[in-house]
Amino acid sequence: ELAYNLNYTEAQRNYEKGLELAEKANDSFSKMKAYQGLSYVFNESGNFELALDNNQKAIDIAKDLQDYQFLSEMHAYRGGLY
């Protein structure tokens, strides 16, 4: 049996740090992935409003990058948030 140590606070901190670095580097792909991660963290920790907000930010960047595979994944995930 596997046991998971889920530390949402630490995960959120790490994604936010990654987002900060991606912004400094003007790296849209990494920003998109950081918003995706934050959406997952907020969903799992019960903050659905922030999960939706970060999901939308990831979707917006995916549209700009024309990353249709990621875009479809984020829309599917968004459906699960409701």
Q: What angle do CA 62, 64, 65 make, to 5 degrees?
A: 65
- Local structure of residue 27 (DSSP, 8 states): -
Residue 44 CA to residue 50 CA, distance in Å, equals 11
pLDDT at 47 (0 to 100): 93
Which two structure tokens, joined as six digits, stand for 39? Answer: 């959406």
Residue 1 pLDDT greater than 70, yes or no: no
Residue 4 pLDDT greater than 80, yes or no: no
Q: Provide the whole-model pTM.
A: 0.88
Band (pLDDT 50/70/90 cuts) for residue 5 is: low
pLDDT exceeding 70 applies to what percent of the chain?
94
